[in-house]
Structure 1
């Protein structure tokens, strides 16, 4: 195909399905000069030069962007060689160049779509309101609905693409958004699609190395709700670390009391130091006594169950609780004092007492 006889310009944008009404003569226009070129090759034996093959690649790319099915394009190119002897090698090179250009256009369109998708998710999580609703419609999202955000820690190179493909394969690209933000793998899904978060956790468990953890925000409505749910999920990870929780999946809904405590840092610091500072004088330090209180609270006051958690004798638990009562003046057996003690212990874990004091 001579460089002076290029195919006509075609509309931009790669359709997702087969076109229903191709413009008349589009295929002929894309392959204009192709039959003549084959005839010249048959007469002279000269192979197609680089510029001719580049023109075939450009024609293949334009065919993809115009929505011409590859099967039709190749069929028309092959048909041009019927009855022309000795052109099979040249025809193979021409068809190969057409297909190369076509596939490259498809790959470019996919990459552009992925880039736009990830840019949209990043803007959404940062609360950038510019054209969010319009852009959301392009990805099939209805931002007036409620969405849940889950975040996973422990991301490695390549994990994002694999998990995103798996989730989209099951739920569709219009139902889940996957991106990376602040080193976390982020999944945004409709609140009505409860299975999506579970599937996300499943893939994280299978692909992430040991030490992974997933935080899940509460369902929130609208673009601002997505931002809030994302922040809750990320904060759930931080709280789980501070509290020494062992659960792999932590939900913001289960940790609501802790943000409340941290809103008045001065008050919680005063509570921790007032109630727990006397434990600094205990033999062996405060840590065994704090662990005992945590085990008792987790066991709903059952000292035998707390002893099993701590792998000590019930008598040791009784002794430690008595030591706490004598040093602090607070007893977990008294309902009011138990609440004060439990709040102080939670605050101590959140604020890294006594190391950070």
Structure 2
């Protein structure tokens, strides 16, 4: 390919040196196409330019002025024409080469997005998915863990945070079978279970990205699972953890699916959970001001490990007012927060209420 380019380029320069004309539009477009073909054939732009400059030097050596038959002025005119043609030709070749590179990048990005969609939605044959994964540096025969970060603005593959985290992870760990991508407005990191340090670094970089970047709100990590279906399962677990954290108002910014396994168990039978909430907490709606203040009191008491002074501080109440609320909960529900078994029932019902968005949503 460079040899063909050099021959065509020499022919062009020879005509320019004779006539002093500028390159025509069709000639420039032909050079752009040659630049594209060189890029598609795997030749770098530096190599293409080198061949063209070598051809320009050969053309210069064949100028009529080298025989002494041409005046200095004429020699200068022909030299200027050759140099102008060289400048225009190299610019056209560069445009074509870059055009091909941009197209290749867009095609690669489209293939990457399609692979991510298929992998995280389980829409492709697992065998074919494993073959495609190798192209993106994943060997799906092993065990993988997925971490998902969510912020107050959506992430896409072109988001600056994606490139920042990708650069940092590559700089620290190199190519270690890791895939980073934006998916449905979230930032997703897929890493082998053996590379837990990568997931920890991913969480650190997204929660504390540094000046100029907005930190994410939460990062959730699924459990380790094997194969392509395992990646999907770990991803779903991370999404569930984020969902539970939002619905329960959990303060933690780092979440692990294994720490939240109780919530899928609680919600596995939604009808039973709704019945528990109605039976245990339903009477709270009779309180002045509704059920919400007393429901919040149950939740904060649990978070404060039933230390009244700490619970009162978090609620912005006096200890005496907190005591009144606890008595009111006991009288309305019949469950005593001071009794260990009854306390557990109240806590479980309160969690269910938050998961079901009760009392705002009727059961």
Give 1:258's match in structure 2, choosing from 242, 252, 263.
263
Query: In structure 1, what is the equivalent of residue 20 of structure 2?
Result: 45
Q: Secondary structure at the match of 2:56?
A: coil
Preserved CA contact (<8 Å) 2:156 2:185 = no
Contact 1:74 1:95 in 2 (8 A): yes
Aligned-partner SS, 1:32: helix
Cα deviation, residue 168, structure 1: 2.8
Q: Distance in 2 between matches of 1:93 and 1:208?
A: 41
Deviations 1:250-287 (A, max 9, x none): 33222211111111111111111111111111222222
Instruction: Select which of 206, 217, 231 maps to 1:203.
Output: 206
1:116 aligned residue = 111
Query: Separation in 2 of the partners of 1:354 and 1:71?
Result: 68
Aligned residues of 1:153 and 1:214 also touching (Cα < 8 A): no
Aligned equivalent of 1:12:
none
Q: Which of 95, 101, 112 in structure 2 is aligned with 1:106?
A: 101
Pick from 317, 335, 340 the counterpart of residue 345 of structure 2.
Answer: 340
Aligned 8 A contact 1:236 1:251 in 2 = yes
Q: 1:70-104: CA deviations, max 9, x gaps?
A: 22221221122222442111111111111211122
Deviations 1:21-72 (A, max 9, x none): xxxxx42123222212211111112221111111111111111222223222
Q: 1:211 to 1:356 in 2, by over 3 A?
A: farther
Higher mean C-alpha displacement, 132-141 vs 221-230 = 221-230
The worse-fitting range, judged by mean Cα deviation, of 249-258 and 73-82 is 249-258
Distance verdict in 2 for CA 1:69–1:241, change over 3 Å: closer
Tell me by how many angstroms 1:169 deviates: 2.0
Alignment map for 1:38-187 (pairs within 5 Å): 38-82=13-57, 83=61, 84=63, 85-86=78-79, 87-130=82-125, 131-145=128-142, 146-156=144-154, 160-172=158-170, 175-187=177-189
Which blocks of at least 5 consecutive residues in structure 1 are unaligned?
Answer: 1-25
Aligned-pair CA distance for 1:214: 3.5
Contact conserved, 1:154 with 1:211, CA < 8 A, in 2? yes
- The alpha carbon displacement at 1:343 in A equals 0.5
Distance 2:213 2:157 in 1: 8
Paired positions, count: 332
- Provide the alpha-carbon RMSD of the alignment: 2.3
- Alpha-carbon separation, structure 1, partners of 2:184 and 2:4: 50
| Structure 2 residue 223 is matched with structure 1 residue 215 | no
Residues 136 and 179 of structure 2 are in contact (CA less than 8 Å); yes or no, is this contact kept in structure 1? no
Distance 2:325 2:43 in 1: 79
Q: 1:268 to 1:208 in 2, by over 3 A?
A: farther
> Which protein has the bigger helix share?
2
* Distance in 2, Cα, partners of 1:276 & 1:162: 47
CA displacement at 1:211 relative to structure 2: 8.2
Contact persistence 2:147–2:219 (CA under 8 A): no
Match of 2:191 in 1: 189
Unpaired runs of at least 5, structure 2: 64-77
Say if 2:311 is the partner of 1:313: no
Secondary structure at the counterpart of residue 181 of structure 2: strand
